[in-house]
Chains A and B, each alone.
Chain A
């Protein structure tokens, strides 16, 4: 007989449900309400229907911010994931150096976003920053307030500096959980270093790597503080990512209706990606329990 799913235990989740209702569901409902109305302040609202949604869906501004956001997430993932795995593979497996490495790797993760932004803002300045000044002395024209390429480079390098350790630490944990027997078997079969990586280490790291990629994608997709501190979305609009644009719209221009519609579309994309990753991850776990 097949086991049936009993959903009654969900009732025990009620207290959490109430908490989430106040911290997430009610605010989200309010955003939905705002998104179909217009306001001139004073808590007075006028029905606008789906105007904001269709206006935004046809706006150059939203799509270019979306494009920049996707590009940013793709670039940092393409850099951080291979680099993180590479670092994890080369970290000492045990002894005092393993601990030293772990602590050193964890350090950037402990620094708050706005501080990271400030560090890199100063570090990259041409007049007083070590990086900017050195590059200028070498004859390279590097000015993140004027040149979009320099602004992007600064943001990407900063994110890689801040978050590669997370990928490295998760991959390291994945690597540590591989039993020695696998390596011994590989040695008996005279597997090359590449084969060991391809057929033992990578498949065993798959689970944690998926989590790492999910976390990094979400975080980079919602990045706000660092670009706000370093470039403020500029030069021009070149580093105006989705959240920066959203805040400009909601707080800068106080266009609550369009900003609410924007948030909802942003939320939908985040939800879709989360669901895909969650499904892939849970299915991977199930496949794992089947095949060992």
Chain B
């Protein structure tokens, strides 16, 4: 594993994503769902909404780094609000 040059923050990052995926799998098996159509007019399941949240969050963080000087922790809060909105309305 040494060649992968792990750091604590990146390991945490991947563990959080891994945990989210496991959680989604368990949820999907326990509580099967029907896809729904939200404000984007596309069918989404919980997994789709997670994907949209993560991808969007990556772009929010990039935009924050490029445009805003403030700490990236604030961007994380924006991301969480965004993810909440995606899960509620998309």
Which residues in A have some Cβ–Cβ distance to B below 8 Å?
2-8, 10, 26, 29-30, 32-34, 36-37, 39, 43, 45, 47, 50, 53-54, 57-58, 265, 268, 271-272, 275, 279, 283, 286
Contacting residues, chain B, for A58 (C-beta < 8 A) = 66
Cβ–Cβ contact A275 & B33, under 8 A = no
Number of A-B contacts (CB under 8 A): 72
Q: How far is the CB of A35 from chain B (nearest CB, A)?
A: 8
Instruction: Give the complex CA separation of A54 and B70 in angstroms.
Output: 12
Contacting residues, chain A, for B6 (C-beta < 8 A) = 33
Interface size class of B (residues with CB under 8 A): 20 to 34
Instruction: Give the complex CA separation of A5 and B58 in angstroms.
Output: 28
Cβ–Cβ contact A279 & B62, under 8 A = no
Binary contact readout B8-50 vs A (1 if CB under 8 angstroms, 0 otherwise): 0110011000000000010011001111000001110101000
Cβ–Cβ contact A33 & B4, under 8 A = yes
Which residues in B have some Cβ–Cβ distance to A below 8 Å?
2-7, 9-10, 13-14, 25, 28-29, 32-35, 41-43, 45, 47, 51, 55, 58-59, 62, 65-66, 72
Cβ–Cβ contact B33 & A265, under 8 A = no
> What's the dominant secondary structure at chain B's contact region?
helix
Q: How far is the CB of B10 from chain A (nearest CB, A)?
A: 5
Cβ–Cβ contact B5 & A45, under 8 A = yes
Instruction: Give the complex CA separation of A91 and B15 in angstroms.
Output: 54
Most buried by A among B13, B43, B66: B66
Contacting residues, chain A, for B62 (C-beta < 8 A) = 53, 57, 265, 268
Cβ–Cβ contact B2 & A4, under 8 A = no
Most buried by A among B10, B34, B51: B10
Contacting residues, chain A, for B2 (C-beta < 8 A) = 43
Instruction: Give the complex CA separation of A10 and B25 in angstroms.
Output: 9
Cβ–Cβ contact B5 & A33, under 8 A = yes
Cβ–Cβ contact B65 & A53, under 8 A = yes
Contacting residues, chain A, for B42 (C-beta < 8 A) = 279, 283
Instruction: Give the complex CA separation of A45 and B3 in angstroms.
Output: 10
Cβ–Cβ contact A272 & B59, under 8 A = yes
Instruction: Give the complex CA separation of A144 and B33 in angstroms.
Output: 58
Q: How far is the CB of B77 from chain A (nearest CB, A)?
A: 17
Contacting residues, chain B, for A34 (C-beta < 8 A) = 5
Given contacts A7-B32, A275-B51, A286-B43, contact A37 B66 (CB under 8 A): no
Contacting residues, chain A, for B47 (C-beta < 8 A) = 7
Contacting residues, chain B, for A2 (C-beta < 8 A) = 34
Given contacts A53-B62, A57-B62, A283-B42, contact A6 B32 (CB under 8 A): yes
Contact of A3 (CB < 8 Å), options: B13, B34, B41, B51:
B34
Instruction: Give the complex CA separation of A265 and B2 in angstroms.
Output: 25
Most buried by A among B6, B33, B41, B51: B6
Cβ–Cβ contact A5 & B32, under 8 A = yes
B37's nearest neighbour on chain A, judged by CB, is A283
Nearest first, the 4 closest Cβ-Cβ pairs linking A and B are: A57-B66, A7-B28, A4-B32, A33-B5
With A26-B4, A54-B66, A286-B43 already in contact, 4 other A-B pairs whose C-beta atoms are closer than 8 Å: A33-B7, A36-B9, A43-B5, A275-B51
A275's nearest neighbour on chain B, judged by CB, is B55
Cβ–Cβ contact A268 & B59, under 8 A = yes
